[in-house]
Chain A
């Protein structure tokens, strides 16, 4: 009898526990995009065709923290006042929950009309017919007369535009000049190269400080490949885009050496950095951070010392550099009010009063008019970021197409082998081979 009860209990437990397993969300770390700015404005929203308009309800979804939620709600209110026939229902969540909510909505054909989209997901949603092609709306709903083509094309997959660029970011190195002096240098030379980087990392290691906190492999290796005229993924996304493993060996050999020299921390150290407050640059243990331009503002604020920004090492900086959409605005394919949805996106992108509320928090505004109008309202750090983006517009090339499906798994492979190299458990030569094999196996699934 006892045995039976136990058996039954054990079985029910297996099932109920198995059912519990997926209830927990935690914190997948993300780069919350943001930017700088404040604004003055043109007025492109609010159409005055007059006459009665049919009432329209739009659902709009975004991810973000509290400050973003607050000002976005204000922008919505402003739009509704100018367009009384439109009601916008906001649906917002943090990054994690956002994607977990969006996926089932897509499965049920119930996606919101306006969706804030990320580069990492746009392929997944775009190629599975979840997002509307925005090409027909260019200059016919969305005013792109003040926006560079490279910026608009950031949301392009093949010949379809699945998302409209909401703001711009670029890669940089941010450093503390005072810390740099400790290794006998006043500033990073304008025309520095990866060889200079190797030397600086070695010097920093010898001086007992970190030169950097490591580089996100999928981002900076991709830059390195671009400098060498290669791409991380092939155009059709079914395999890796570079065929010379020597590039992998050179790049990861370099970052591995930086760790072995003590100029860059081991991954376990980086894993324990909890936030900007903990960053070695802030704690005066390190010289620099490799990151996106919008992150300069946060770093500067927390460090509370004069910091500098600098372009990435050469050669071929222009070929390597690209402008990255911090996020997109997409319209769902199942939306019944695509035109109204597009009008709101136009308001968000081009309206100066709206952008005075947004202040570049979603990345440097893409419209040159909005950008100029915001400038007088910016803090000095924000001006630096805006100026850098202006510089980068001239000194960059077209971004790689959005990541293919399976990129999340490839990123994880990068992380795995990067860790193993930095803990000196595998040589870059071996890692290059294994990485290629496994990454190609993942990407080959896109062939069907």
Chain B
């Protein structure tokens, strides 16, 4: 009886074994190792030297570049994510009205998200926004005149934000699924009551979609904090001009692999984790004021 039960369990453990081992070796242990390293000075060559809280202290008191990278990242996340979500919702609503060939459109609009994080697209972006690139040519035709995207820190950051907006596909798909789930009867009833499109959007679409907006907002915020490839490629690994695109993870990478300060970089990673966790908690806490759950009968 007991051996039987053990056998049954053993089969189960055998199935999850590979994952558990992989998780321990490649995720759990490194996570705790990095926590330990964050309290040390570690250059990869010599044994880590215990520093206590020095790395953390330096970050907030004696490292102007850290403050700069934090500022740039906040601008990037809180400028980029809402715009990206708004754009994703906009496209999703357009697609929702299309009757024919919706599968094709969905695929086409989703494509940038698949390739958007890649090195090739970042290089393309560099060229598009170059002094003689396509974007400036269009601006000139419109009579606005060219922008020197690589000279102004803020302009360069916007270049990155535009790239992130362009990768709206995954949020768009989720929005689209959400839109399809809103019962048509609600709109019909509203139509009978004489509500126009604007009313319908704000009184029906947005509330019905709010759980999905929350989900997308959290996922996209977390993802945006981790952005690395575009900043690395577009600024050639430097975060320029004048540290205007020095995103958090790029600065972390530079600390770790250019300056060989693994301890400091680990400390930065943990602060990043805390920041992301804190913002996620805030978003969840704010949910009760604006997220509408149909399943519980509404708030």
- Residues on A facing B (Cβ under 8 Å): 2-3, 6-7, 9-10, 13-22, 24, 26-29, 99-100, 103-104, 106-107, 124-125, 128, 130, 266-269, 271-272, 406, 408-409, 412, 415-416, 419-420, 423, 425, 438, 441
Contact = CB atoms under 8 A, between A and B. Distances in A.
Given A107-B44, A125-B45, A128-B45, A271 B240 contact: yes
B280 A104 contact: no
A438 B62 CA distance: 10
B19 interface: no
B211 interface: yes
A15 B27 contact: yes
A178 B80 CA distance: 49
A26 B259 contact: no
Interface stretch (B9-17, B89-97, B214-222): B214-222
Interface stretch (B103-111, B177-185, B200-208, B224-232): B224-232
Interface of B: 26-27, 30-31, 43-46, 62, 64, 119, 126, 130-131, 148-151, 211, 214-215, 218-219, 222-223, 226, 228-229, 232-233, 236-238, 240-243, 249, 252-254, 256-260, 269, 272-273, 276-277, 280, 284, 287, 293, 295
Contacts of B149: 268
Given A124-B260, A419-B242, A271 B269 contact: no
A20 B117 CA distance: 12
A415 B150 contact: no
Given A17-B222, A106-B45, A415 B151 contact: no
A271 B260 contact: no
B186 to A, nearest CB: 20
Contacts of B259: 406, 408-409
Given A128-B43, A406-B259, 9 more contacts: A19-B30, A20-B226, A22-B253, A29-B236, A106-B44, A106-B45, A267-B240, A415-B238, A420-B242
Contacts of B242: 416, 419-420, 423, 425
Nearest to B227: A21
A99 B260 CA distance: 11
A291 B42 CA distance: 35
A27 B236 contact: yes
A17 B226 contact: yes
B89 to A, nearest CB: 18
A21 B228 contact: yes
Contacts of A27: 233, 236-237
